[in-house]
Amino acid sequence: MTVVFVHGVPDTPFMWQPLISSLGLSQSEYFAPALPGFGCDIPSGFSCTKEAYTDWLITQLEQAVQASGGPIDIVGHDWGALLTLRACSLRPDLIRSFAVANALIDREYSGHRMARTWATPVLGEVSMFLSSFMDMKQSLIDAGMPKEIADHDVSYFDKRMRSSIVKLYRSAAGLNFRGSWVDDLKNLPECGMVLWGEHDPFVGMDVAERFHKMWGFPLHILRDTGHWGLIEKSDETAAQLKALWARAS
């Protein structure tokens, strides 16, 4: 089996370590790439828009499928969940199963306050310039990120990541999804699920419930967790993912 893990904002692939450990995956069984600009270089000409990141992810999935010899399982969180849904809806042939957590493509959701700030010209840049490492670290911990993950990931919250985040959110008008990003969800693979941290301060439970009702994918609520519920309760998440993968077999 091959599992691809797609992190979100403002994370790095390091966030997946608790879940990978709970799943007992060997290095040959998973791939956790870093989004360009998130603790790694940005390729020349890469625009850091939602379309550019989608194209990049599809390329990563094609390579993973070629290496594994067949469709793969994918897990995405936050922006990684949004990109996962978009990539899966465009290339369902690459996917055996998908699981997404605490972010969904939703026509009615208009984005949290910080998303709207980052998407606003000038204001987004000023906000990023004024954001200190300590402020960002504390806000991540308050939202549910385990301290050891925050300690690591905030060290990569540099000028390159800040610029990438602003461009990404601006390309999505905050988090306003319309047109094909919503309509193409009808092409999602049949085997998928949604995991949700119950007390997410950024995206309300109503978004998860609406997606579940509209598209019919199972919804598992991680009680008493925040935005990073899938790693706060990595053992519970691992059990859910193993059950999903068993159904996909």
Spell out the per-residue pLDDT of the chain, length 249, in tens: 899 999 999 999 999 999 999 999 999 999 999 999 999 999 999 999 999 999 999 999 999 999 999 999 999 999 999 999 999 999 999 999 999 999 999 999 888 888 888 888 888 888 887 777 678 888 899 999 999 999 999 999 999 999 999 999 999 988 889 999 999 999 999 999 999 999 999 999 999 999 999 999 999 999 999 999 999 999 999 999 999 999 998
Half-sphere exposure (CA, 13 Å, Cβ side) for 61?
A: 30
Does residue 116 form part of some domain? no
pLDDT of residue 165: 94
The amino acid sitting at 23 is: L
Does residue 148 form part of some domain? no
pLDDT of residue 224: 97
pLDDT of residue 136: 83
How many domains does one find in the chain? 1
Nearest to 5 by CA among 28, 38, 34: 34
- The reported pTM is 0.95
Does residue 154 form part of some domain? no
Does residue 153 form part of some domain? no
Does residue 103 form part of some domain? yes
Q: Can you tell me whether residue 220 is helix, strand or coil?
A: strand
Does residue 165 form part of some domain? no
Q: Which residues pair with 30 in a beta bridge?
A: 3
Does residue 156 form part of some domain? no
Pairing state of beta strands 30-31 and 3-6? parallel
| Residue bearing tokens 């990404």 | 168
Q: What is the maximum alpha-carbon separation in the chain?
A: 49
User: What stretches of the chain adopt beta strand conformation (E)?
Assistant: 3-6, 30-31, 72-77, 95-101, 192-197, 219-222
Does residue 173 form part of some domain? no
Range of the domain at 66: 3-108+178-248
CATH code for the domain of 37: 3.40.50.1820
pLDDT of residue 133: 67
